């Protein structure tokens, strides 16, 4: 494989990087696309938007995501899923592999080996912790969502927005801004949302699917998690930590898929007394930790120190340590995390 794949300081993509991305796309008639394991709205939405746009330019597209290969219930409304293929059907050595919303190779699970066998790897991402594992990079940590970069690529390809593309992109934008509530939301964010809404999509219906629709068993699972919630006012240098945990039994016992655990953090983080919120999801022998900040602590730096990644205000990591050890390590990492002026 050609090209340089090394860790480097991540800056916003310059014009030369956009040009390199477009040149890579133009060199290939078949393009494999992949997003991270257990995809969220930004990962799957961005990938499906690009897959559809590239297909309209006459290219053969092969989009997928790693095992477990199950589209979350909340994302089954996204257009373009007819293009998806199972991980086993992905080309073993694609000429061009595009990755979406993926900061490191390990996040590609059982499809990570394609990074080593692909002729070129185009990385499209907005994580500050991105390890720049590709040959071409469109990586912008100032973008609120990978969907922002996907929309710019679609525009540069000369493909006009329609309701199908806009639905996928809006899902990504709404997901990673917390329905436009998070601190990274800017005037440009709303301007992009306006362009997407101009195609005629229904933001109320999209948001209902993304945020406000769950199986009945989700409420009982949430009740279990909230019944265990703990507040530590002295943690994070006195800024406060609120946290809880849930496990396989909380989900499986109610017929819930693992993606139904993702929204618990959005409830826990509402505690006024805590700057940082954490949810441990103890699933399949691992502890998947989601961390959120109200805006005064860089939780992304804390999670990177623990082997994970993410953004300043939303990040996570995975550990195989026992619960008490995981919480203790996070407390220490949060004590050392950079503070942000409000």
Domains in the chain with CATH codes: 15-211 (3.90.1640.10), 216-336 (3.10.310.30)
Report the alpha-carbon angle 96-130-296, nearest 5: 150
pLDDT band of 336, cuts 50, 70, 90: very high
* pLDDT tens string 166-187: 999 999 999 999 999 988 899 9
Sign of torsion over alpha carbons 162, 64, 260, 326: negative
Which helix (H) or strand (E) segment holds residue 244: the answer is strand 241-247
* pLDDT tens string 201-219: 999 999 999 999 999 999 9
Is the pLDDT at 249 greater than 70, yes or no? yes
What is the pLDDT at residue 11?
58
- Looking only at the bridges linking them, the beta strands covering 60-64 and 314-319 are unpaired
A 10 A CB-CB count for 4 gives 9
Largest CA distance in the chain: 58
Return mean pLDDT, the chain: 94
pTM assigned to the model = 0.92
| Long-range CB contacts (within 8 A, 24+) of 159-165 | 159/53, 159/56, 159/57, 161/195, 161/196, 161/199, 162/199, 163/79, 163/199, 163/200, 163/201, 164/52, 164/79, 164/80, 165/49, 165/52, 165/53, 165/79, 165/199
Is the pLDDT at 225 greater than 80, yes or no? yes
Whole-number Å distance between alpha carbons of 122 and 99: 6
Is the pLDDT at 1 greater than 90, yes or no? no
Q: Are 329 and 320 in contact (CB under 8 A)?
A: no
Looking from the CA of 292 toward its CB, the CA atoms found within 13 Å total: 24
Average pLDDT over residues 292-312: 94
What is the pLDDT at residue 5?
35
Which helix (H) or strand (E) segment holds residue 23: the answer is helix 15-26
By CB atoms closer than 10 A (0-12, 13-18, 19+), residue 52 is buried
What is the pLDDT at residue 305?
96
List strand residue ranges (DSSP E) for 255-313, in order.
276-283, 286-293, 309-310
* pLDDT tens string 132-152: 999 999 999 999 999 999 999
Whole-number Å distance between alpha carbons of 119 and 131: 19
Average pLDDT over residues 243-250: 96
Q: What are phi and psi of 23, to 5 degrees?
A: -65, -40
pLDDT band of 284, cuts 50, 70, 90: confident
Average pLDDT over residues 33-51: 97
């Amino acid at each position: 494989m050609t090209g340089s794949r090394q860790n480097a300081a991540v800056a916003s993509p310059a014009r030369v990087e956009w040009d390199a991305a477009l040149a890579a796309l133009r060199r290939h008639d078949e393009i494999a696309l992949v997003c991270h394991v257990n995809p969220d709205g930004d990962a799957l939405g961005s990938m499906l938007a690009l897959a559809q746009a590239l297909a309209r330019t006459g290219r053969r597209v092969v989009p997928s995501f790693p095992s477990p290969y199950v589209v979350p219930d909340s994302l089954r409304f996204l257009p373009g899923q007819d293009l998806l293929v199972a991980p086993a059907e992905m080309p073993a050595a694609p000429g061009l592999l595009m990755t979406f919303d993926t900061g490191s190779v390990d996040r590609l699970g059982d499809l990570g080996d394609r990074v080593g066998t692909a002729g070129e790897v185009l990385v499209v991402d907005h994580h500050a912790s991105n390890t720049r594992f590709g040959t071409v990079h469109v990586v912008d940590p100032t973008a609120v969502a990978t969907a922002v970069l996907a929309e710019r690529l679609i525009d540069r390809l000369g493909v006009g927005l329609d309701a199908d593309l806009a639905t996928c992109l809006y899902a990504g934008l709404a997901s990673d801004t917390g329905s436009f509530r998070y601190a990274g939301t800017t005037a440009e964010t709303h301007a992009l949302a306006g362009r997407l809404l101009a195609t005629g999509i229904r933001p109320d219906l999209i948001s209902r699917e993304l945020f406000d629709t769950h199986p009945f068993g989700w409420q009982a699972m949430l009740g279990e998690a909230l019944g265990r919630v703990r507040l530590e006012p002295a943690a994070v240098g006195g800024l406060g930590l609120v946290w809880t945990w849930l496990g396989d039994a909380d989900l499986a016992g109610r017929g819930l898929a693992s993606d139904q655990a993702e929204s618990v953090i959005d409830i826990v983080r509402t505690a006024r007394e805590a700057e940082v919120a954490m949810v441990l999801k103890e699933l399949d022998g691992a502890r998947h930790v989601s961390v959120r900040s109200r805006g005064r602590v860089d939780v992304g730096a804390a999670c990177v120190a623990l082997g994970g990644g993410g953004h300043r205000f939303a990040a996570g990591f995975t550990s195989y340590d026992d619960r008490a050890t995981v919480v203790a390590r996070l407390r220490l990492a949060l004590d050392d995390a950079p503070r942000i002026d409000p």
